Structures are given as C-alpha cells and as structure tokens.
Amino acid sequence: MDSDPATRSSVIDRTRSDQLEVLKSLSRTASTETEFSTELNGGARKSKVVGSSPAKRGSYHIRKSRSTQLNMKVDLDEVSNAALSRASSASLGFSLSFTGFTPPQGVADLNASLSDDDISPVGDLESNIKRKNFIVEPTLPIYLKFTDVKYKVFIKGVTTTNEKYILHGISGSASPGEVVALMGPSGCGKTSLLSLLGGRISNNAVEGLVTYNDETYNKSLKRRIGFVTQDDVLFAHLTVKETLTYAALLLLPKTMTKQQKEDRAMDVIYELGLERCQNTMIGGSFVRGVSGGERKRVCIGCEIIINPSLLFLDEPTSGLDSTTALRIVQVLHNIAEAGKTVVTTIHQPSSRLFHKFDKLILLGKGSLLYFGKASEAMPYFESIGCSPLIAMNPAEFLLDLANGNLTDISIPSELHDEVQTNDMATDAKANKPSTNDVHEYLVGAYENKMESKEKKTLVSEDFKECVPAQHQKKMKREWGANWNQQYVILFMRGIKERRHDYLSWMRITQVIATALILGLLWWHSNTATPKALQDQAGLLFFIAVFWGFFPVFTAIFTFPQERAMLNKERAVDMYKLSAYFMARTTSDMPLDLLLPIIFLLIVYFMAGLRQTATAFFLTMLIVFLCIVAAQGLGLAIGATLLDIKKATTLASVTVMTFMLAGGFFVKSVPSFISWLRYLSFNYHTYRLLLKVQYDEVPPYLNVTDMDKGLREVVSLIIMVFGYRLLAYISLRRTNLRSAA
Ligand SMILES: Nc1ncnc2c1ncn2[C@@H]1O[C@H](COP(=O)(O)OP(=O)(O)OP(=O)(O)O)[C@@H](O)[C@H]1O
C-alpha cells in the first residue's frame, strides 16, 4: 500500500505544504534555523512514505521519536537559548504559528515578538521557558491492536433482559506517529469502541482482543493513556491556569519539583494557545466562562499534560467552527509526530480536516465498513462501485454511504442488479436500494476485499520488536504525589472551586435575613415565666433544626455533582480515594463554619440569650458540632445514591423524621419508635443548647435524663465520624464498580 505512487505523491504533497507552513512560521528567523527545521520535518515525513511493512513502519516511528529526542539533545547542547526557542519548537512543528492556535493577527504579533530585532533578552528568555516542547520527551511508544472486538449491552425490560450487540467484530490497529480517525453516523458505536480501546469498558460484555504492545490492558497503562471525553468534565469556577496547574501537581511524577510541574502547566497553556484566557474561569451552565473551543482545549490539555503515549479523544471538534476544529486536529497531528498514538472520533470533518488523518475507521451500525489509510478510502469505495457523482467532501461522502444514503453517489452494479431483482419480485418501483441493502453490501464488500488481508497483517505484526528494550518491562503503577500532598492540593482546589458558592451574597443574605427575623421575633426574650422560657426554648429548637437542615441539603450535592470528575480523575490514578474524600469533606468546613458565626452574632444578642462568654462560645461549639454531623448525613446519602433527585427525596424524609423526633413537637412518643430520637442530631443539639442556657432544665420542657451533656456530645461525635465512614464506604463501592 505504501509503495503506491498516488499515495506517495499525495503524502509528499502534504509534506511539502507542511514544510511551507514551517517556512512561513520561520520567515522572521535566521536562515540556518529554517534549514535545520525543514530538514527535520521533511526527513521524517519522507521516511514515513517509504516504510512499507509494519515492522518497518514501527521502526520508523521509533527512529522518528529517537531522532526527535536526539535533536532535542543536540539543540540543548549546541544551540543558544534564543535560537532554541524558535528552531526546536518550529522544527518539531509545535510553534504557535504552525499549530495555528493563534488567530492570524496573533500569529503575526507572535512572530514579530520572536523576531531577532524586536525581542528583549528577558522576553526571549521567558518564551524559551514557557514554550518548552514537553511533548517530545521520550515516552513508551504504544502500538494498539484490536481484533474481532464485539460489545453487547443488556437492555432491561419489565420482566426480561435482552442482549444487543453494539459492535460486531471490529479489527484494526494504530501505531505511534499516526492520527486515526473513527467516523460513522450518530449511534454507530464510535464512543463505545473508543471507550473500549481506552480501557474504560472491561467486563464480560466485551469479546475479542485489544492489546497495547501485544499485551492486554493493565493498570500500569493508566498513566500512559489520555482520554478526552465527549462531555467536558471540568470545574466551572477554576481558571484555565488553575485547572491545568492542579492537574500537573497531581499527575506529574514525584521526581519533578513543584516549580517544574507549574512550568509544565504553562507549557501546555502555550502549546494549546490558551495564554489569552489563562486567567478566565472555565464557566458552566450558570457562569459565563471560556468559549467552547477553549474549554475543549483545556480538556485536551488536562490529558496531554502527562505526555501520554496513547491519546483517545471523543469528538474533540464537535460544535466548533471549522478553523478552530482544524487547529485542534493540527495539535493532534503534532502530538502524533512526537511519536504518540492518537485515536479520535470525529463527526463531520471538513475536507481539509479529513486529509489530516493518517488512518480511518469507518463504522456503520456497529460494523466495520473500512479500516485503512484515510487517503486510500476514496479509491477503495470507488473500487467497490461507490463514488460521488458530484464534487463532494470525502467525509460527507463516507458518512452518506455509512448511513445508506446513495443520493449523488453511483450505485454499484451488484446492488443495482439486486434492486432490479427485488423490484421484479415485488413489482415495486422504488429503483433505489434500501439503507439496509447498502449497509449489508458495504459490510460484505469490506469482508471480502479487505478484512482477511488486514487481519493477516495484524496477526503478523510483532510490535514488541519495535518497542525499545528499556520500555519493555512493565511500568509500576505510581502516584504523582504522596497522600499528604494529594490531600493539600485537593483541599486547596476544593476551597477555590467552591469559594463562590459559599461566599455568594445569596447565601450570606439568606442567613442574615433569617437571623434578623429570628432576632426580631424573639427580641429580648426572657426566662421570667414558664411561658417565656418555653418561648425561648422554641428558638433554641429552631436553631438546632436550621443548622441541621441547611448543611444536609448542601452536602448531598457533593458527590453526585462530582461523580463524573471523580470517575475521570480516578481512571488515571490521579489521587487516592481516601485523600479526595478527606479533602472534599474538610475543605467545606472553614466556609461552612463562617455562616453560623454571623448567624449567632445576630440572633444571640438580639434574642437576649444568656449573656456570658462561656454560654455564647459553648452555643457556637454545639452548633458547629451539629453542622458537621448533619454534613456527614448529607455526604452519606449523596455518596450512597449518587443521584441528586433520589438523594434530595431521601434527605427530606430523613431530616423531617429527625426534626419530629427531636423532642419539641411530640412529648410522649410511643416506646416502640422512641429510639429514633437517638439518631437525630436535632435531638442532641437541642438538649445541649438547653443545658447551656439553663443549668437546670425545668421539668415542664419535658427533657428527661439530662446530666452534664456528655452523652449528647459523644452521640454527635459518633455521628460526625459514623456518617462519614458510611459515605466513604459507599463511594469506594461505587468507584470499584465503575472501575470494573
Ligand atoms: N449501556 C447502553 N445501553 C443501551 N444502549 C446503549 C448503551 N450504550 C450504548 N448504547 C447504544 O449503542 C449505540 C452506540 O452508542 P455510541 O454512544 O457508541 O454511539 P456513537 O457513534 O458514539 O454516537 P454519537 O456520535 O451520537 O455520540 C447507540 O444506539 C446507543 O444508544
């Protein structure tokens, strides 16, 4: 295939145009640097065309990676700093103008800033540091091979469960240096196949073999595989820079210093052209943030920050304009050129985009319609009698075919004959094959013409040979930071992400308004008469209910809302679940404890509660304890159900039960249900608040067995830890289930 002159000339044409782009981007730099860079790119590209056998292809990629690394070393040793920033980055195809990530005006500005005449030594030094090509750092080259992959889902009915195959025996491969596009109509199984290849689905519903350098998926690969999901999973309130810095701090190896990790985050920002929005919030449904294209680039940045050997992307260009899409694909191209393997699903690429892909997997209804070089797809379909009758974007043509739509496409003679036979039999006049006929014809044609050949090639390819010896031993699973560091990083991230929620004027106003209303209603209450004291006890009960109710309904959202993020980050072993859990539960505390202070400062003095410092601070401590216990319950409900609707329903029933069992509304509770009050944090808090206000709680308040309050304190402390333990166990169970 590789020796085909047409292909060779098309690739060489592409090589030339790429060289031209490099030349353009280097137009302002010294001519010696231009020669150096063009030779590098051109040399590499030409050898790519010549390599024909898989082994040769493999050794080419290694050679290419090695030569890249070697050249980097030579650069470092021999080239001056100023030249390095331009020559090495541009020669390896990573200059911003090459990746095309800055708008035309920006490119011009950037090039101008890089011109020898204009740049100051400081600026040059800065750009030299920030624009380091971390992607060319050596990584394990990964050869991905998949043979006869099938995937079925179980569709549950009321009484029965049916199996449905989503993928019907897909075979193919992807090598380092290649960008493989996965195309097909919506619902044809692209995401399923990508998830399966990325090790995200591994259960008994999967059949066939997926290997990485001839070995099946193992946990050591987690850190070598980047997976950009279709939905952008990011924290809305973090800025671009914060998002990438936290990812770098958690993911990069312990051998790197904090400064080096932060520098890497900046390298990614510059690599993806995000410098202009680095301090902008990501944003989400309720907060305006970066644009869709920028958000997608941040997602890609979070994955490439670890310099993965194998990168999967699910529709990285969906919803973007063609120029932004082209920029993203150009980055993927650059990543592949550094010796990585890139597999991406793509919906409807423009023809410019289509020509950027090395290989193409075309799916239709879960079956393989084509696997091979993207440049050979059109000749292949022509050879089976399907070609466009008008000038058409190849991607559009292929998607029409995969959809079974033959408008403006020539009908192959076999299908034509079949239609006529059917028409005669049924006396119909449709004169057009049905989508099913087209699908079956294409699947059959691929099986007859290509599949056996491709399968033979896959079997004969021995990728191990092509992997450098030092990479062949299995990598140990390793964490980027130790437990304490993970805890501190996640704690800080939690505070940053939620500072807006907690310090939002809505919440503060809500608490202040409630406190003022309570203060006015109980204005200078006293304990002179039993009736007045009962009134005041009512306020204490309300405080116990309010600060039990409020935290539960804040905490139940914690884990359901972060579920997608947790799954994504745990899939790459970003941190230990225990570190996340501890950080997540404690990072809420400082902010959660600020509001009750404001509340009590208002209510306590307006209502004229016991005017001693001890009583005030003890009241505050009791409210804190109640809040932390109530949060635990919210976390446990959220972590167990992981569904906001279900969690809210269960929480409202539970909180209402606890409130009723709190001892204020019902005085004589039947004995068979009276145990319920011991589970209620409202009950314990109310009793403690009474104890603080009135050393001897009067009998008409119906509070019996009240000693020094130790029992209530111990009960609340048990709840603080018990509910959290329950939440952790639930989360671990769910996490293990989703990892299985
Ligand atoms: N767990 C599941 N249960 C039932 N059906 C499923 C399940 N997962 C996937 N499917 C079905 O399998 C088919 C393929 O889904 P998949 O998400 O892989 O398609 P896709 O090609 O990525 O689609 P799109 O381009 O629209 O994202 C769809 O019809 C989908 O409804």
The CATH number of the domain holding residue 332 is: 3.40.50.300
H and E: helices and strands count for the chain: 30, 9
Buried b (16+ CB within 10 A) or exposed e, 303-318: bbbbbbbbbbbbbbbe
Pair (197, 293) in one structural domain? yes
Q: Supply the pTM of this predicted model.
A: 0.73
The protein residue whose alpha carbon is closest to atom 18 in ligand 1 is 189
Pair (293, 158) in one structural domain? yes
Pair (185, 263) in one structural domain? yes
Pair (305, 178) in one structural domain? yes
Under a CB-based contact definition with an 8 Å cutoff, are residues 92 and 338 in contact?
yes
Does the CB atom of residue 671 touch ligand 1 within 6 A?
Answer: no
Is residue 316 pLDDT above 80, yes or no?
yes
Residue 471 lies in a domain: no
Q: Residue 57 is part of which domain span?
A: 5-131
Pair (177, 273) in one structural domain? yes
Residue 430 lies in a domain: no
DSSP character for 475? P
Does the CB atom of residue 162 touch ligand 1 within 6 A?
Answer: no
Residue 138 lies in a domain: no
Under a CB-based contact definition with an 8 Å cutoff, are residues 689 and 604 in contact?
no
Q: ipTM greater than 0.90, yes or no?
A: yes
Q: Identify the weakest region by mean pLDDT among 242-246, 335-339, 720-724.
A: 335-339
725, HSE (Cβ side, Cα atoms, 13 Å) = 6
Pair (114, 155) in one structural domain? no
Pair (610, 725) in one structural domain? yes
Pair (256, 337) in one structural domain? yes
Distances 687 to 174, 256, 567, 696, 710 between C-alpha atoms, Å: 68, 54, 42, 11, 11
Does the CB atom of residue 166 touch ligand 1 within 6 A?
Answer: yes
The single-letter code of the amino acid at 677 is R
- Encode pLDDT of 479-518 as tens digits: 778 999 999 999 999 888 887 776 678 888 999 999 999 9
DSSP string, 506-557: HHHHHHHHHHHHHHHHTTT---SSHHHHHHHHHHHHHHHHHHHHHHHHHHTT
Number of structural domains (the chain) is 3
CA–CA distance, 450 with 446 (Å, rounded to integer): 5
Across 50-61, average pLDDT: 40
Residue closest to 651 by CA, chosen among 713, 587, 716, 727: 727
Residue 507 lies in a domain: yes
Residue 346 lies in a domain: yes
Residue 332 lies in a domain: yes
CA triplet 36, 375, 25: central angle to 5 degrees? 30
Backbone angles phi, psi at 662, to 5 degrees: -70, -10
Which of 165, 188, 317, 344 has most ligand 1 atoms within 8 Å of CB, for mutation? 188
Residue closest to 475 by CA, chosen among 247, 203, 251, 139: 139
Domain boundary among 98, 131, 164: 131
- Encode pLDDT of 392-434 as tens digits: 889 999 998 898 888 888 877 777 666 666 555 554 455 677 8
Q: Which helix (H) or strand (E) segment is 163 a member of?
A: strand 161-174
Pair (235, 355) in one structural domain? yes
Residue 428 lies in a domain: no
Q: How confident is the model at residue 690 (pLDDT cuts 50, 70, 90)?
A: very high
CA triplet 706, 712, 714: central angle to 5 degrees? 140
Does the CB atom of residue 362 touch ligand 1 within 6 A?
Answer: no
The number of beta carbons lying within 10 Å of the beta carbon of residue 214 is: 13
| Rounded distance from Cα 167 to ligand 1 centre (Å) | 10
Pair (451, 513) in one structural domain? no
Pair (632, 718) in one structural domain? yes
Pair (125, 265) in one structural domain? no
Residue 470 lies in a domain: no
73, with CB counted inside 10 A (0-12, 13-18, 19+), is exposed
Is residue 119 pLDDT above 60, yes or no?
no
Residue closest to 727 by CA, chosen among 637, 626, 592, 627: 637
pLDDT at 74: 36
